[in-house]
Amino acid sequence: MDQREAPLVAALAAYRERGLLPFHTPGHKGGRAAPPPLDTLWGPGLWQMDLTEVPGLDDLHAPRGAIKRAQELAARAFGAEESFFLVNGSSAGIMAMLGAVCNPGDEIIVPRNCHRSVTAGLILSGAVPVYLPPPVLPSFGIPLGIRARDVEEALEKHPRAKAVLVVTPSYYGICSDLAPIASAAHSRDIPLLVDGAHGPHLGFHPALPAGALAAGADLVVHSTHKVLTSLTQSSLLHRQGRRIDRERLAHMLRLVQTSSPSYLLMASLDACRRQLALEGRMLLDRLLALAREVRERIGTLPGLAVLGPEDLCRDFALDPTRLTVNVQGAGFGGPEAAAFLREQGVQPEMADPANVVFILTVGDDAATAEGLVGALAALAAARKPGRGSRKVPEALPLPPLRLPPREAVFAPRERVPLARARNRIAGEEIVPYPPGIPLLNPGEEITPEVIEAFAELRAAGVEFQGLADPAGAEIAVLKL
Ligand SMILES: Cc1ncc(COP(=O)(O)O)c(C=O)c1O
C-alpha cells in the first residue's frame, strides 16, 4: 500500500472539481449559503469539502470505496488488521468496544481512573465493572497505571470476566506495560481493550513507549485529534486478532455514530495518517528533542517539579511529550497556577489540585517552547513563600458498587442535598473535568469520603461535569 495516497481527500477534491449542482445535504450547498462571519473566516475550501454520501464519496457505515481504502491505509500505518474512522471521538470507540465484547450482566475488569466514556459504555452494554484502583504516585498525587499482577489477581477473583480494559497512556502520560497484561487476558482467551486516547503517536518512534497494538491489544482507540493533527472529534478504532467479532463491532459503531458523518473529520483522519506515515519519524524526532529541552529547563525552576521517568517504578513508562508540572512547591494549587499562566498567555491542557498538565505535539516549535518556559519562569518567580508544603491530594475514593451502572441509570430517583445523600445510591455521576475521571458513578454508594473529596476538589477550583445541579448542592439518588 502506498502511504503517499490520501484516497478520501482525493475523492473530495475530485467531487469539488466536477462542480455538480448540489441538490443534496448539507443545506449550505458548498458554502453558497454559509452564514457570516464563518463564510469568510473559514474560507471556501472548507465549506466545499463539507459533503455527504454521494456517489464517489463512499459511506462510513458500509465502506466500499475511498473510505474503505483510507481505513485500510490507516490499519497498515498503525499496525492493525482493521481500522475504523470515528467521528464522535474516542468516546464512541470506547462505547462500541464495550458493546462488542460484553452482554448485560457480564463482568469487565477496568481501572478506576477510566474516562467517563467507559461509564457510558457500561450503561449502554449493561456490563458490570470490576474496578482496579490504580496505585498512586504520592509526590504528585496522581494515579499510576495498571500492573499485570493486579490484572492477574482480578481475573483469579473474577474468572468469568469477559474482557480487560486498560487506559494507557494516562492523561499524565503514564504508560502501563501492556504485553504481560495482554498475556494475562489472552491466557483466559478474553480480549484486552485499550483506551489509548492519549497515545496515537506511540510506536512511531523508538524513543517512545511501545504502542498498544504491538503489545498485543485486541482493540485500541486513538484520539488522533488530541496529540496528532486531525480535527477535533476525529479518532481511530483499531482491531486485530480473532477474539473480537468484527460484525458485532461494526454494528455497535453504527449504533453510536451518526448517520451523517462529517467528511471534514474523515478527510482530516486520512491526511493525518498520511502525514504520520510519511513524516512521522522526522516530526517526532524534532518533538522529542524539544520536549527534552523544555523538561530540562523547567526542572531548573525553583518550586516546580516535572514528572519524569525517574519518578516512576519499573512497572511504568512515561510519554516524554506529556508534561506534568507539580506547582505546590511554589505555593500554588493547579487551577490557580493555570489561571496565572493564562495571564502570561499560555493555556494548559488541564490542572488538578497539585499539577498543571501541558501537551507538546508536532505542532510545537522553539517559539511555543520559549513561551511555555517563560510563563513557568514567571510562575516560579511569583512563588508564594510559606505555602510550599501543601498536602498532596490523596487518591480518589473507590465507593462500593451497589447496582450495575445501567440499572442505576434507569431506576426511579429523587434529588436530595448532597450533605444528606450519605449512604444513598447515586443516580448520576460526579466527574472532575478535565480529566473526566469519575469521582462517583451511577449505582455507587455516596460515602462520606466521596462527599469530602468533592468538597476538597471544589475548594481547589476543579470544575465538574455530570451533576444536573451546577452548584453541586444537590444530587440525584435512587429511590430504593
Ligand atoms: C483517557 C481518555 N479516554 C477517552 C477520552 C475520550 O476521547 P474523545 O475526546 O476523543 O472522545 C478522553 C478524553 O479526554 C480521555 O482523556
Residue 90 Cα to ligand 1 midpoint, Å, equals 6
Is there a domain that residue 365 lies in? yes
Question: What is the Å distance from ligand 1's center to 82 Cα?
Answer: 21
Task: Clarify whether residues 28 and 176 are in a common domain.
Answer: yes
Q: How far, in Å, is the centroid of ligand 1 from the Cα of 5?
A: 28
> Quick one: pLDDT at residue 228?
98
* pLDDT per residue as tens digits for the range 172-204: 999 999 999 999 999 999 999 999 999 999 999
- CB of 167 within 6 A of ligand 1: the answer is yes
Look at residue 398 and tell me if it is in a domain. no
Q: Which atom of ligand 1 is nearest to the CA of 86?
A: 10
Task: Note whether residue 2 is domain-resident.
Answer: no
268 lines ligand 1 (CB under 6 A): no
Whether residues 365 and 426 fall in one domain: no
Cβ contacts of 221 within 8 Å, gap of 6 or more? 86, 90, 93, 94, 97, 194, 195, 196, 197, 235, 236, 237, 238
Last residue of a domain, one of 346, 381, 416: 381
Q: How far apart are CA 85 and CA 66, in angstroms?
A: 12
Q: Which three cell numbers stand for residue 93?
A: 470507540
Choose the residue to mutate in 118, 198, 225 for probing ligand 1, maximizing ligand atoms within 8 Å of C-beta.
Answer: 198
pLDDT score, position 460: 80
Question: Same structural domain for residues 204 and 315?
Answer: no
Residues 75, 184 share a domain: yes
> Residue 454 falls within a domain, yes or no?
yes
Is position 151 within any domain? yes
pLDDT (average), residues 114-121? 94
Same domain, yes or no, for 197 and 301? no
pLDDT number for residue 60: 98
Assess whether 23 and 144 both reside in one domain.
yes
**Any ligand 1 atom below 6 A from CB of 425:** no
pLDDT at 387: 62
Q: Give me 69's grid cell.
A: 481504502
What is the tens place of the pLDDT at every residue in 214-234?
999 999 999 999 999 999 999
- Distance (angstroms) between ligand 1 centre and the Cα of 223 equals 7
Does residue 391 form part of some domain? no
* Ligand 1 pocket, residue 117 CB under 6 Å: yes
Residue type for 290, please?
Answer: L
Residues of the chain with pLDDT > 90, as a percent, come to 87
Nearest to 257 by CA among 444, 436, 95: 95
The span from the CA of 340 to the CA of 368, in Å, is 17
Tell me how crowded residue 388 is: count the other CB atoms within 10 A of its CB: 14
d(C-alpha 225, C-alpha 48), whole Å: 22
> Residue 458: its pLDDT value, please?
86
Q: Please write the tens of the pLDDT for every residue from 411-445.
A: 999 999 988 999 999 999 998 876 777 899 999 99
What CATH number is associated with residue 414? 3.90.100.10
- Total domain count, the chain: 3
Q: Which domain holds residue 334?
A: 281-381
State mean pLDDT over 124-143: 93
Strands 163-167 and 192-195: parallel
Q: At what angle do helices 366-381 and 334-343 cross, to 10 degrees?
A: 120
What pLDDT, in 10s, does the model give residues 366-393? 999 999 999 999 999 998 876 654 555 5
* pLDDT band at residue 346 under the 50/70/90 scheme: very high
Q: Are residues 223 and 334 located together in one domain of the fold? A: no
Please indicate, yes or no, whether residues 40 and 172 belong to a single structural domain of this protein.
yes
Atom 1 of ligand 1 has which residue's CA nearest to it?
115
Q: Which residue has the higher pLDDT, 300 or 463?
A: 300
Identify the domain boundary among 381, 413, 433. Answer: 381
- pLDDT tens across 28-65, in order? 999 999 999 999 999 999 999 999 999 999 999 999 99
- The residue out of 234, 255, 276 marking a domain boundary is 276
Pair 347, 410 in one domain:
no
Q: 373 with 247, same domain?
A: no
Q: Is the CB of 89 within 6 Å of ligand 1?
A: yes
Quote the CA–CA distance of 103 and 425 in Å, as a whole number.
Answer: 23
Contacts of 169 (CB under 8 A, 6+ apart): 175, 196, 198, 199, 202, 209, 319, 322
* Ligand 1 lined by 287 (C-beta under 6 Å): no
Query: Any idea what the CATH number is for the domain that residue 361 is in?
Result: 3.90.1150.10
**Ligand 1 pocket, mutate which of 85, 122, 221, 226 (most atoms under 8 A from CB):** 226
Any idea what the CATH number is for the domain that residue 13 is in?
A: 3.40.640.10
CA of 114 to the centre of ligand 1 (A): 9
